[in-house]
A and B are shown apart, each in its own frame.
Chain A
Amino acid sequence: MASNPFAHVVTKVCGPPSAADYGADKLLRAVVWGAAAVILLLVTYIVFELGRQAFPAMLSFGPEFLYSTTWDVQAKQFGILPEIWGTLYSSLLALLLGGVLGVAIAIFLTQDFLDHRVSNVFRTIVEMLAAIPSVVYGLWGIYVLIPLIRPGANWLHDSLGWFPFFGTSLSGPGMAPAALVLAVMILPTVAAISVDAFKRVPYKVKEAAYGMGTTRWEAILKVMLPSASSGILAALVLGFGRALGETMALAMLIGNSNQISLSLFAPANTLASLLASSFPEAGPIEVQALMYAALALLAITLLVNVFGLWIMKAATRKFEGR
């Protein structure tokens, strides 16, 4: 038994890299660079293509497109201020509801309120909400949610009608059902990412907090929440992004009415819903206007993401000292 049983390993570890190793390395590098480049090229191409098709509309309608309120195909008047308003208003409401609820669920699932196995089951159920198709949410909204909230909404309008948020009665579709469904739709995104953010906080941090004599709630609110803040903010930004772009459920629930109203019960419209409902039958000039609107939606999403990243950075610096 003179031969060395480790001979093949030894050569592999100690020998200089072979030509094949270099090749594999180069190949991997090319694939990874390629994948990254494809994403960049794709985004650039989408922006370019949208811009190219929207260009005639941008020339003829100018910035007025962004702050006028009429969408009249026959008169060739196009303005998307009500849609911009509706998009931001519905998304903000959804973020408020879905964000609070999502973070609360994340706290519930990670801060030892539940047995480990039970909390895993729970988490799977919340994540399953993300698998429900948008159109099902829309139908659920029409057939279940609207009849459910109508009596309450109309009571609010009757007794507190002077308050701008309850200024109109809820007949059917409107901002409130749309925002509620949107909140449920962004819930899994917010909850899942917040859970990960809490799990990333080292256990020692919590132990140290308890060691200093905090109660459970003090530990959660004053130590865990700030420590996980960058991850939670990321969850909120992603949730908001999803809410901005959500289409089908909103097209079914928001009422598609081009008006700007603070009232939660008035019908409104969003950019994505306008695009979805007008594209199939649009004539050439309307298509250009729709492309312009799509570009506006893209810009809003981009701004929101940049703003979110900036807040996230600030929070990280403040709470995590990085």
Chain B
Amino acid sequence: MTFQHALKTTALAGCLSIVAFSSALSADTTVNGSGASFPFPLYAKWAKDFSRQNKDVRVQYQAVGSGAGIRAFIAETVDFAASDAAMNDDEISKVPTEKGVVLLPMTAGEVVLSYNLPGNPELKLPRDVLIDIFSGKLDSWQDERIAKANPEIDLPDDEITVVRRSDSSGTTYVFTGHLAAASETFKQEVGHGKSVNWPKSFVGAPKNDGVAAMIKQTPGAIGYIEYGYAEATRQPMATLQNKAGEFVKPGEKSGTAALASAEFPSTDLPGYAGTPDLRVWVNDPAGKEAYPIATFTWMLFYQHQDEEKAKLLRDFVEYGLNQGQKDAPKMGYIPLPDNVKAKVERALKLVGGEQ
């Protein structure tokens, strides 16, 4: 018995060491990235498929959050990073100039409003109601504006329990960006950022899954989560009223319509002449078919690094821009519009070797 056991252990150890050896032999170039958790499922799929197609390379991506990704990028502990809030001018100035920065939008997503109402009806939320709920001024489902927009729903007399992210997050940044653009009072009272001064009666839950679970478990709750996450877990999603006054459902088509209105700044990235500034926000798209809360998400690269790594990173981005975009809609992301793709292709040339 013990002999058999020993034999099994040896065999297992042997197998493991062979696996370890073969991977060490074949993957001779590895690039590491870390950052935003929102695009993680998509980036992880790209990394897996890309590494499978190219036998001697490996791309690793860790979802540690946008803020942590930017910190790691500034500290030069990664080869690339990802962030839902891009980088602000202050953060860009902290990256050593001999490394250089280039920010590339890689995919896009939407933020949806999920809720817990009896029978999971399709809820329509007028613009002013959304603002009032998230400013803490409206706490009853019996409000007549909600009733007017949803005549077919029998609204409960529960209080509205607002669930927000308790951790600082890119999702909050995008969501409050929309509300702040739509309402000056919201901007003054609550603010726009990765974590903001929410009214004190709101309930905070960690991460997308925490918010989703909390909504599911609390009658009368409403909260904001990523579209991809809501789609994967089949949470009900509210139809929102956009700037043009139309009620629009979240989805690939309405998201693409929102992104089409994005106008990239014509200036260069601060401190880097010749590097296009690809940071743009569509906080309140004007299009009739546009879903109001959509955003790009970025990958951050150095302009100067080991030539071998630079080539690998360029190939990886190239893969993500072409084959990779086909994965996006299936996984709840919005593919990049063609004009944006062209801009990224051009900027990608800046990811290069040593100076």
Contacts and interface: CB of A to CB of B under 8 A. Distances in A.
A74 interface: yes
Contact of B167 (A74, A257, A278): A278
Contacts of A258: 200
B239 to A, nearest CB: 24
Interface in B178-214: 191-197, 200-206, 210, 213-214
B221 interface: yes
B208 to A, nearest CB: 13
* Count class of interface residues, chain B: 35 or more
A72 B218 contact: no
B191 A281 contact: no
A75 B191 contact: yes
Given A255-B204, A281-B167, A74 B217 contact: no
Given A169-B159, A283-B67, A277 B196 contact: no
B196 to A, nearest CB: 6
Nearest to B165: A277
Contacts of A267: 201, 203-204
Q: Is the interface of B mostly helix, strand, loop or mixed?
A: loop
B64 to A, nearest CB: 7
Contacts of A147: 217
A255 B200 CA distance: 10
Contacts of A32: none
A281 B66 contact: yes
B200 A146 contact: no
A282 interface: yes
Given A172-B161, A173-B214, A277 B203 contact: no
Contacts of A169: 159
Given A251-B166, A277-B166, A73 B193 contact: yes
A252 B214 CA distance: 9
Contacts, number: 99
A162 to B, nearest CB: 19
Nearest to B85: A281
B167 A280 contact: yes
A44 interface: no
A75 B197 contact: yes
Contacts of A280: 64-65, 67-68, 167-168
Nearest to B173: A281
B220 interface: yes
B114 interface: no
Contact of B217 (A72, A142, A273, A286): A142
Interface string B36-80: 000000000000000000000000000011111000000000000
Interface string A45-75: 0000000000000000000000000111111
A113 interface: no
Contacts of B203: 171-173, 255-257, 267
A143 interface: yes
A251 B205 CA distance: 7
A171 B161 contact: yes
B169 interface: yes
Contacts of A214: none
B64 A171 contact: no
A134 interface: no
Interface in B134-167: 158-159, 161, 163, 166-167
A282 B168 contact: yes
Interface string A280-296: 11110010000000000
Interface residues of A, number: 33
Given A171-B161, A173-B205, A73 B214 contact: no
A111 interface: no
Contact of B206 (A146, A259, A277): A277
Contacts of A286: 168
Contacts of B202: 257
A106 B158 CA distance: 43
B204 A73 contact: no
Interface in A64-122: 70-75
Contact of A74 (B68, B161, B196): B196
Given A171-B220, A280-B168, A281-B167, A257 B200 contact: yes
A169 B195 CA distance: 26
B210 A172 contact: no
Nearest to A255: B203
Interface in A150-167: none
Contacts of A143: 213, 217
Given A171-B220, A257-B202, A278 B168 contact: yes
A173 B201 CA distance: 12
B204 A256 contact: yes
Contacts of B217: 142-143, 146-147, 172
Contact of A142 (B191, B192, B194, B213): B213
Nearest to A171: B161
A281 B204 contact: no
A73 B200 contact: no
A21 B67 CA distance: 58
B173 to A, nearest CB: 10
A259 B195 contact: no
A277 B203 CA distance: 13
A73 B161 contact: no
Nearest to A72: B197
A251 B191 contact: no
Interface string A131-145: 000000001001100
B123 to A, nearest CB: 18
B68 A281 contact: yes
Interface centre among B64, B161, B193, B195 (most CB of A within 10 A): B195
13 contacts: A72-B197, A171-B218, A172-B161, A172-B214, A172-B217, A173-B205, A255-B204, A256-B203, A267-B203, A277-B167, A278-B195, A281-B68, A282-B67
Given A143-B217, A280-B64, A281-B195, 14 more contacts: A71-B197, A73-B194, A74-B192, A74-B197, A75-B197, A171-B158, A171-B159, A171-B220, A172-B221, A252-B206, A277-B167, A277-B204, A280-B67, A281-B65
Q: Report the 3 A-B pairs with minimum CB-CB distance, sorted nearest first.
A: A256-B204, A281-B67, A172-B218
Interface of A: 70-75, 139, 142-143, 146-147, 169, 171-173, 251-252, 255-259, 267, 269, 273, 276-278, 280-283, 286
